[in-house]
Chain A
Amino acid sequence: MDLLVETRSATMRFGDFTAVDGVDLSVRSGEVVGLLGANGAGKTTLIRMLLGLLLPTRGSVLLFGGAPSRSARRRVGYVPQTLGLYDDLTVAENWAFTAAAFGTAHPEVPESVSGSRRELVRDLSLGLQRRVAFALAFSHDPELLVLDEPTSGVGPLSSAQLWEDIRASAEQGTGVLVTTHNMEEAEQCDRLVVMAGGRVVAAGTLGQVIGDRHVVQVTCDDWRSAFAALDGDGFIVQVQGDQLRIPGSPARVEELFQRHHLLGKLAVVPANLEEAFVEIGASESRP
């Protein structure tokens, strides 16, 4: 399997601030890698380094085995969250413009968006705009796709359609790097890389990132009283319907329930990705 992206101890400093700190990241042909991290964790800076827009202060960044040159960048399809489309041009005009810029000969708008070829981009729904941006990014047969929150804001059907496009592309050998805050998207990736404070703090499959983290799940008749008691005692409680989920030891939760004469059924259940993410972030920010 080809290594499309490989960074080794990649570091980016801006003055005193280290935005990216010794990051090892790889993306291989045919895999979908999810890059997660809080705002300011260094994801965007890392992507700018991969695209050759920033030179690392230290460490190395290889794109297709070489420096991220202009010619290497032509082999990358990038869809930012803002999509990078020309709102005032039609779909067909956007298409022609991109084909000319990349020097590719694609006379026809692809089938996936041909129904709206004569419409101005700004008149399309967000789901359709995203499909157009995808089609443009795919148009020069990129070997690497970099997608920022690819399905945020679109409905379930459009989202499924976009993921089908992403998977079809990966199955043909394209490597895909998805940056996202959306847990639904993260769960669809083959592998995840979690960044905090410029560093990689967890990596692996969904199961590996969650690891053996657990939360206490409480099912109770009166979640409101239980929430007030737990929250007042400093527990970080998340409510799911009439269930409460609490990181930490079941003994402490049980003790509190007894003290406040609350009734509830306690169970220790595996954490979900969001809970794991919060816990990883919290343990990283500790001095």
Chain B
Amino acid sequence: MTWGLERATVTFGAKKALDDVTMRVSPGSVNVVIGGDGAGKSTLLRALVGLVRLSAGRSLRPSKRAFGYIPATAGLYVDLTVEENLAFVGQAYGVIGRDYLTRSEELLERIGLTEARTRLGGQLSGGMQRKLALAMALLHRPELMVLDEPTTGVDPASRAELWRLISGAAAKGAGVVAATTYVDEAHRGSMVLLMDQGRVITAGSPADIIAAVPGRVGAARGSDRPAGHSWRWGTSWRVWIPGGELPAGAQQVVPTFDDAVMVASMSNAKES
């Protein structure tokens, strides 16, 4: 079964928080939603799990028992211990008895919290809390995983561990939707949606998004901004020319995914 959104629109007062968004989440796929603050990532995820009402379009999701959701903040009970947090979701989703014991031990081991099982959720570091929240969302082996910024503020080593768990769920057939503000996490997706102001401004595999860059991208040195659409990258500049020649001094380069994201964002800003 394929889950997702079909031409979904969400309005808050006069503001369109989500504007005609379509996404398909097939089993075993990892869909990464990227965008900055206010882009509509959380609204998209909340629309997908049914936490906000659509003013148009529809949301296709499994029954509540078959999806796992982590909100952008919390996702666990700070006053319960690690073990109690897991037991709580186990009971809520009917994962009980021997199945619960095996599954919770396996997850505790995977997130490295076996020794910390009696610690309160609130006493864990930010990275540990995100790992526990993910384990809680995975406990009942959901068909659809909806993760709102599962790795924000988490150090790179913990982030790699979190993604290993997420990929593991997808490898076993779960459809995954994960929002992030880190552009480098887009590479982890089979499908990427780049959002701005409630709209999807580009979508596809990272390779598709790079291939869709129109015109030429160049690199230039020096402290003066090159003519055209240009931005800084480290000590050098990048420049994008939708049509025609690159400015003098700029060397044409094969666009990176970061370049493609900048180009899509700039084209979008130009249109709106």
Q: A residues bordering B, Cβ < 8 Å?
A: 36-41, 125-127, 152-160, 163-164, 167, 171, 181-184, 187-190, 223-225, 227-228, 231, 236-242, 274-275, 277-278, 281-282
B37 at the interface (CB under 8 A from A): yes
Q: Provide a sorted-by-A list of 8 A–B residue pairs whose CB atoms are within 8 angstroms.
A: A38-B155, A39-B126, A155-B36, A224-B170, A238-B160, A238-B167, A239-B188, A274-B156
Cβ contacts under 8 Å, A277 to chain B:
156-157
Q: Name B1-44 residues within 8 Å CB distance of A.
A: 28, 30, 35-39
Contact partner, B164, options A38, A167, A238, A275, Cβ 8 Å: A238
Residues of A within 8 A of B207 (CB): 241
A195 CB to closest chain B CB, in angstroms?
11
Smallest beta-carbon distance B109→chain A, Å: 12
Beyond A156-B183, A188-B233, whether A126 also contacts B38 by CB under 8 A is yes
Bound CA span A190–B182, Å: 20
Decide: A274 near B168, CB < 8 A? Known: A127-B36, A171-B223: no
Q: How far is the CA of A168 from the CA of B36 in the complex (A)?
A: 23
B152, CB-defined interface residue at 8 Å: yes
Of B47-55, B93-101, B138-146, B258-266, the one contacting chain A is: B258-266
Instruction: Give the contacting residue for B189; candidates A152, A158, A164, A241; CB below 8 A.
Output: A241
Contact: B155 with A39, CB < 8 Å?
yes
Q: Which residue of B lies closest to A188 (CB)?
A: B234
Please state if B156 and A240 are interface contacts (CB–CB under 8 Å). no
Chain B neighbourhood of A239, CB < 8 A:
30, 163, 167, 170-171, 188
Give the 9 A-B CB pairs with smallest separation, nearest first.
A155-B36, A126-B37, A38-B155, A160-B231, A239-B167, A227-B171, A224-B171, A156-B265, A154-B36
Question: CB distance A156 to B158 under 8 Å?
Answer: no
Shortest Cβ distance from A172 into B: residue? B223
Contact: A167 with B155, CB < 8 Å?
Answer: no
B38 touches A39 (CB 8 A): no
The distance from the CB of A279 to the nearest CB of chain B, in whole angstroms, is 9
For the complex with contacts A182-B184, A184-B184, 8 further pairs of A-B residues with Cβ separation under 8 Å are: A156-B262, A164-B232, A181-B154, A190-B235, A224-B170, A227-B168, A241-B188, A241-B205
For A160, the chain B residues whose CB sits under 8 A away are 231-232, 262
On chain A, the residues within 8 Å of B206 by CB distance are 241
What 0/1 readout, one digit per residue, does chain B (224-247) give for beta carbons within 8 Å of chain A? 000000011111000000000000
On whether the beta carbons of A154 and B37 are closer than 8 Å, the reply is yes
Chain B interface (Cβ < 8 Å from any Cβ of A): 28, 30, 35-39, 125-127, 152-160, 163-164, 167-168, 170-173, 181-184, 187-190, 196, 205-207, 223, 231-235, 258, 261-262, 265-266, 269
In the assembly, what is the distance between CA of A154 and CA of B183, in Å? 11
Docked complex Cα distance between A105 and B235 (Å)? 31
Contacts of A41 in B (CB 8 A): 155
- What is the minimal beta-carbon distance from A232 to any residue of chain B, in angstroms? 10
Shortest C-beta distance, B143 to chain A (Å), equals 15
C-alpha gap A98/B266 in the complex (Å): 33
Query: Which of B189, B233, B235 has its CB near the most chain A CB atoms (within 10 A)?
Result: B235
Complex: A188 Cα to B238 Cα, angstroms: 13
Provide the residues of chain A in CB contact with B157, threshold 8 Å: 38, 277-278, 281-282
Would you call A153 and B36 a contact (CB within 8 A)?
Answer: yes
Chain B residue contacts of A167, Cβ below 8 A: 232, 235
In the assembled complex, the Cα of A33 lies from the Cα of B164 at a distance in Å of 30
Cα separation A237 to B165 with both chains bound (whole Å): 10
Known contacts A160-B231, A228-B172, A277-B157; decide if A237 and B167 are in contact (CB<8 Å): yes
Across-interface contacts of B262 in A (CB, < 8 A): 156-157, 160
Complex: how many Å from CA A119 to CA B157?
39
Give the chain B neighbours of A38 by CB distance below 8 A. 127, 155-158
Interchain CB contact under 8 A, B171 and A228? yes
How many whole Å from B142's CB to the nearest CB in chain A? 16
Query: By the criterion CB–CB under 8 Å, are B36 and A240 in contact?
Result: no
**Which chain B positions have C-beta within 8 A of A181?**
153-156, 159
Q: A39 and B170: CB pair below 8 A?
A: no
| Given A153-B37, A274-B160; A223-B234 close (CB under 8 Å) | no
- Chain A residues near B125 (CB, 8 Å)? 39-40
Q: Chain A nearest CB: distance from B179 CB in Å? A: 12
Q: Which residue of chain A has the shortest Cβ distance to B235 in the bound complex?
A: A190
- CB B257 to nearest CB in A, in angstroms, measures 10
Closest residue on chain B to residue A276 by CB atoms? B156
| Contact with A155, one of B35, B173, B235 (Cβ below 8 angstroms) | B35
Instruction: Verify B184–A274 contact, CB threshold 8 A.
Output: yes
Which chain B residue has the least Cβ–Cβ distance from A163? B232
B residues less than 8 Å from A154 (CB atoms)? 36-37, 181
- Complexed CA–CA distance, A37 and B127 (Å): 13
